[in-house]
Amino acid sequence: MSEIETQEQVMVVTEAALAKVLEVRNEEDDPANLALRVAITGSQGVDYVYDLAFFELTAAPDDDVRWEVGDLSMLVPAEDRERLAGATLDLPSNPAQGGLVIRNPNRPNPLGDLGNLELSGDVPERVAQLIAERINPSLASHGGYATLVGVEGSTAYVTMGGGCQGCSMSAATLTEGIRAAILEAVPEVLEVVDATDHSAGENPFYS
């Protein structure tokens, strides 16, 4: 492709990161035709995994988002635009670490892609169906499961058992994964409360 529409920047590039990227790019052949392409390749825990590489502007995919930072062209795949929105490309806080870091306020769903699910019944039935058919299969890899205690008004009360009970990550998993899934799939629910007694699970991964 010969031309790419320049659009509003997706992520911020600090001056220090820009200088480092330009230093490396300028050692390549035809540096003026190279953009830095930032793509999400997966996730690890509660963070995304990224691929940063120089990419020829003339070969960039049609739907890539492009913008300019000084003398540097930036590219982000269209499917990663929202997941990288508001992120910052910077140098590490520890100079000895080297390389670049991406500080991204967005987080992947720790339960993975829950996919499309046709729910039926009243609100408690739909929440219970979502937990049984989508959430618990995702939690099973950690030896855990979630249970709906009940729904009062617009609030759903959920407990976590097995490997999730007493797990230091369980609160984050509930907040970032289960809560998001329920709020999206069952719009009548406006809040999800963790009703688990986490103190009861001293050694959650072994029984």
SS in 3 state form for 45-78? CCEEEEEEEEEEHHHCCCCCEEEEECCEEEEECH
Quick one: which of 183, 118, 117 has its CA closest to 154?
183
Q: Looking at the predicted structure, is the pLDDT value of residue 4 above 50?
A: no
* Residue 23 and residue 29 in contact, taking contact as beta carbons nearer than 8 Å: no
Can you tell me the mean pLDDT for 67-86? 93
What's the alpha-carbon Rg for the chain, to the nearest Å? 22
Q: Cβ distance 108 to 48 under 8 Å?
A: yes
Domains and CATH numbers, the chain: 12-103 (2.60.300.12), 123-200 (3.30.300.130)
Nearest by Cα to 128 from 148, 146, 155, 144: 148
Most confident segment among 6-15, 69-78, 86-95, 114-123: 69-78
Distance of CA 164 to the CA centre of its chain: 21
Q: What is the pLDDT of residue 135?
A: 84
Question: Out of 34-43, 73-82, 133-142, 191-200, which region has the weakest mean confidence (pLDDT)?
Answer: 191-200
State the pLDDT at residue 199. 56
pLDDT tens track for 133-191: 888 887 776 677 888 999 999 999 998 877 655 555 555 555 567 888 888 889 999 99
Contact, 136 vs 159, CB < 8 A?
A: no
CA dist., res. 78 & res. 99, Å (int): 25
CB 42 within 8 A of CB 48: yes
Q: Read off the pTM.
A: 0.58
pLDDT > 70: percent of the chain: 78
pLDDT bucket at 107, cuts 50 / 70 / 90: confident
Q: Give me the count of residues in the chain.
A: 207
Long-range contact pairs involving 25-28 (C-beta distance under 8 Å, separation at least 24): 25/54, 25/72, 28/54
Could you tell me which residue, 71 or 167, shows the higher pLDDT? 71
Residue 105, both tokens: 């306020």
Q: pLDDT-based confidence at 23, cuts 50/70/90?
A: very high
pLDDT at 178: 83
Phi/psi region, residue 187 (left: phi>0; alpha: psi -120 to 50; beta: rest), is: alpha
pLDDT over 70 (residue 93): yes
Average pLDDT of the residues in 25-31: 92
